[in-house]
Structure 1
Amino acid sequence: MTTIQVITRDNKTNYSEILDEYFRLRHEVFVEERGWQALRRHDGREVDAYDNDHATYLIALDKGRVIGGLRLYPTLLPHMISETFPHLVRNQVILKGPAILECTRYFVVKERRTGRTDCRLLAAFQQFCLEQDITEVTAIVEMWWLPRWQQTGFKVRPLGLPTMIEGQPCIAAAIRVSEETLEHVSRLAGLRGSHLSRASDISSYNDRVPHVAA
């Protein structure tokens, strides 16, 4: 059974091996498979400036093995859209706030993409955001994600026009967090009850975000 582990600065020392596997799989997926050569690292671990204590990871595990994951990051801090891709946002008006996160580095390993792992990870994403009073999540994704999100009940609005990145048309978008979407994707995933596994010492998201003026 797939479980989704929440990893933050509060508990990441307990999950160093899982995080290391997650970073190595990110390199395998984004560099070796998708060809994002700018992310290539000699140690085979795809790690960037946003893999710091402000990041929250939702990592899909099957019998202790990482099979997918994503990273959430506060938009009140400098983040990927604001620092690297502001040109993807209409009029460069960056969506940010205490109730808005940015999602990056989403993946499911190749051998699990035809099953329910994707839906279970997306359901956990919605549940986590609802629990933390997050209302929207921004992301930059390939265009093929839009019909996939529609299929899973995600409500998405574009923030700009498609732009070529690494040979693929990509778009900045905002995902609305809602109980309706959680219920829909949970049904697709065949899930009932909580979709998250977390250590008892994890504090609430807003307690971990530094106070930064919007």
Structure 2
Amino acid sequence: MIIVIDGLNQDAFSDVLEDVFRLRKRVFHDRLGWEVTVTNGMEYDRFDALYPAHVVSLDDEGNVVGCMRLLQTTGPHMLSDVFSAILDGEPPIRSSTVWEATRFCVDMNRLKSGRGRNTISYVTSEVMIGAFEYGMAAGITDAVAVIDPVMDRVLKRGGNAPCGYLGTPKPMGKVTALAALMDVTPERVAAIRNYAGIHHDVFVDEDSLRKQRAMAA
């Protein structure tokens, strides 16, 4: 189930957001060895202070098992401020209808392989569905994401192939970085849903989630 945490409900779900940052620390710092800032067991950066939308996947017990960050390209974002070398000197996209998707990760300790619920594949697809459906409702027409070749293959295999790329691939640390473009359309969502077999509404009722987490606290 998906919840989107943005500037409107961030205070109400601050505990969920902290779990997102803890998952990001385990994935990006501990497992992948990225040079990221960790504070009190959580990974977050200056872009998290810009009130992005965090697309969060929760399991039936309310644990964070996947997440993605969406940020408008009209202001600072990672492609323009961190990975600009990919663009080969071209200016970054600046549009209120083009958002950047970053910090995608899943909890591989809680999830298993396969195609059913509580699997890496299912949660990956669920996060993508949530992100694109949220984007369509917000008037977003396209998304740009800095990804590596492994993620590029995951997207293509899951019915979510990029429709184009910006600039040229560049070595970034231990991996090669690509700037992928994806149109935010019902057709793309339908392709992801068909691949994953997800035909229900993926979004959780926020009031029910508040009650569930209050009871578990």
What band does the TM-score fall into relative to the shorter chain? 0.7 to 0.9
Q: Percent identity?
A: 24
Letter of the structure 2 residue corresponding to residue 153 of structure 1: G
Deviation, 1:79, is 1.1
Deviations 1:73-96 (A, max 9, x none): 010011111111111114322122
Q: Is the contact made by 2:72 and 2:99 (CA closer than 8 Å) also made in structure 1?
A: yes
Q: 2:174 aligns with which of 163, 167, 186?
A: 167
Mapped pair 1:144 → 2:150: yes
Letter of the structure 2 residue corresponding to residue 6 of structure 1: V
In 1, the alpha carbon distance for the partners of 2:31 and 2:7 equals 29
Bigger RCO (CA 8 Å, 6+ sep) = 1
- Structure 2 unmatched runs, 5+: 114-118, 208-217
Deviations 1:85-109 (A, max 9, x none): 1111143221220110011100011
In 2, the alpha carbon distance for the partners of 1:124 and 1:16 equals 19
Q: Is the contact made by 1:57 and 1:70 (CA closer than 8 Å) also made in structure 2?
A: yes
Structure 2 matches for 1:113-192, cutoff 5 A? 114=113, 115=119, 116-156=122-162, 157-192=164-199
Could you say what the CA RMSD is over the residues aligned between the two structures, in angstroms? 1.7
Please, which moves more after superposition, 88-97 or 168-177? 88-97
Mapped pair 1:78 → 2:76: yes
TM superposition outliers: structure 1 runs of 4+ over 4 Å: none
Q: Is the contact made by 2:85 and 2:170 (CA closer than 8 Å) also made in structure 1?
A: no
| TM-score between both structures, scaled by the size of structure 2 | 0.85
In 2, the alpha carbon distance for the partners of 1:169 and 1:25 equals 23
Q: Is the contact made by 1:11 and 1:199 (CA closer than 8 Å) also made in structure 2?
A: no
Query: In structure 2, what is the equivalent of residue 21 of structure 1?
Result: 19
Mapped pair 1:41 → 2:47: no
Query: In structure 2, what is the equivalent of residue 61 of structure 1?
Result: 58
Deviations 1:24-81 (A, max 9, x none): 1101100110010x21425221010011253111100012100010110010011111
In 2, the alpha carbon distance for the partners of 1:14 and 1:39 equals 26
Q: Is the contact made by 1:8 and 1:53 (CA closer than 8 Å) also made in structure 2?
A: no
| TM-score between both structures, scaled by the size of structure 1 | 0.86
In 1, the alpha carbon distance for the partners of 2:88 and 2:112 equals 32
**What is the SS of the residue equivalent to 1:91?**
coil
In 1, the alpha carbon distance for the partners of 2:133 and 2:83 equals 27
Letter of the structure 1 residue corresponding to residue 149 of structure 2: M
Q: How many residue pairs align between the two structures?
A: 197
Q: 1:95 aligns with which of 62, 76, 93?
A: 93
Deviation, 1:154, is 1.9
- Structure 1 unmatched runs, 5+: 201-214
- Change in 2 beyond 3 A, CA 1:131/1:171: same
Letter of the structure 2 residue corresponding to residue 100 of structure 1: V
Query: In structure 2, what is the equivalent of residue 210 of structure 1?
Result: none
